[in-house]
Structure formats: C-alpha cells, structure tokens
Amino acid sequence: MPGSTRLFVPAPLRPGAEIAPSPAQVHHLGAVLRLKPGARIAVFNGADGEWQARIAMLARGEGRLAVEEQRRPQEPEPDLWLAFALLKRDATDLVAEKATELGVSALFPVLTARTQASQVNLARLAAIAQGAAEQSERLSLPAIHPPRTLARLLAEWPPERRLVAAVERAGAPPIAAGTGGAPAGLLVGPEGGFTPAELDVLARHPFVTLAGLGPRILRAETAAIVGLALLSALASTA
Ligand code: SAM
C-alpha cells in the first residue's frame, strides 16, 4: 500500500508509466520525508484518478517514479466556486488553502472598491492549492483565475449559477435559505466590506442571493471558510 504521501504530477497515469517528479518534489521525497527507492507513494493528475507509484530512483536532486496500479478512479469535485475580494498576502494564502481543502473547483480573486491589494502571485496561489489538494486527498486542483473587477465578475458570471454574496448587517437571510444545493459560488467582500453602491449592483443581478453568516462580523477569510462549509453541507444534503 502507498503511504500517506501524495503528489500531483502533470503527466498521464497508466500502468508502467515513468514520471520525473519536479525538483521540489524530489527534495520533499528525499530530504524531507527521507524516502528511499522502493517506497510507494500515491500520485494523481486531475484526470486519471489516484495511482500507486514506486520510487524507482532518487539521487543527486533527480528522481523517477514508476506508476503501478490505480487506487481510485477520477471523481468530480463538488461544483462550488469561490470569488473573494483580494486580501493581504497571508489571508489570501489562507483562503486558497482552505477553499481547496473544502473542495472548491474554481477560485476568482476580485477587485472591489475597498480591496486593499491589487496584485496576487498566481503561481504562489497555485502552489498552495496543489499542497492542499495533495494533503486533503483531492483528485484535482482548483482552477485559479486572474484577478478581475467585481463588475467584470458579474458580467461574466454564468447566469444559471447562483452567486451567494455574503453580506453582514444587511438583514439578509441565512445562507441556507437561498441556494437549494444547485451549482453555486460564494462571494466574500474585502476587510472594509462592500460599498452601498456595490450592494445595490449585487442586488440587481437575478443570479445573486444576498446571505448572512450570523450575527458576528467575521474576518473575510473566516467568512470564506464558513460560507464554503455551509454551502458544501447544503449541497450534500440537497
Ligand atoms: N468592515 C465591515 C464592517 O465592519 O461592517 C466588515 C467586513 S467583513 C470583515 C469582510 C467580508 O466578510 C464582508 O464583506 C462579507 O462578505 C463577509 N462577512 C463577514 N461577516 C459576515 C456575516 N456575519 N455575514 C455575512 N457576511 C459576512
């Protein structure tokens, strides 16, 4: 049986395939986990399920994995998206990691009137999401989209997909009241909240449901985690 080590490898997986792990993965396997040739790990690529692989070679910063047999067939992730106003770096990293653990299939960083950050390192977010997918036994990575304004997010949002906008102090009904488990996305605002004008724009879109997350004012990253957990629970019981 493979141990608990799982690696995402962007290569086709089939019996007998040979894979070269990335330099970071070689370092992780050899220097951090101290695994030796012959050890079994699990690999996945987002398309072919999870496979057992044997470390065939690990030396001088290079490695080779021999793919053996499939352990899990590919399964779809929950159809849940997260749009979130860009936060400071650590909070954005946390949102990417937790959203991946919670099964989000697409992440949309958003620029709003009160957003404090305007740039995000997408490669860094992708690496964080990959680590979270490996750890949480996901079979795929979330898509990570470049930042876009709130106006563009709304203009490009598929109208058949509900967008649950988390808003505090607006008397909005609790999140469970407005979704019914259909394909959905969660929208979380910046630390300063949405402006009144943005709330008006949101309320005018028929696919948007304004929803509350309880009486306390949560930090944006907490709101993202709580909102995703609630939407996931709702989808699994619908
Ligand atoms: N600065 C705002 C204030 O004090 O009124 C709070 C903004 S909050 C820190 C950041 C974001 O988290 C909000 O835009 C909203 O999307 C979400 N949020 C926080 N608490 C919430 C709640 N109780 N219900 C719904 N959304 C909430």
Q: What pLDDT digit, counting tens, does each position of 42-59 carry? A: 999 999 999 999 999 999
Atom in ligand 1 nearest the alpha carbon of residue 192: 1
pTM of the complete model: 0.92
**Cβ pair 78, 99 in contact under 8 A:** no
Q: Is the model's pLDDT at 193 over the cut of 70?
A: yes
- Fold topology of 6-72: Ribosomal Protein L25; Chain P (2.40.240)
18 CA distance to ligand 1 middle (Å): 48
Which residue's alpha carbon is at the smallest distance from atom 6 of ligand 1?
A: 193
Ligand 1-lining residues (CB < 6 angstroms)? 166-169, 188-189, 191-194, 212-214, 216-220, 223
Name the residue ranges covered by the structural domains of the chain. Answer: 6-72, 80-237
Q: What pLDDT sits at residue 60? A: 86
Write out the E strands in the chain: 6-8, 18-19, 40-44, 50-59, 62-72, 80-85, 106-111, 143-144, 148-149, 162-166, 184-188, 208-211
Residue 20 is which amino acid?
A
Q: Which CATH class is domain 80-237?
A: alpha beta
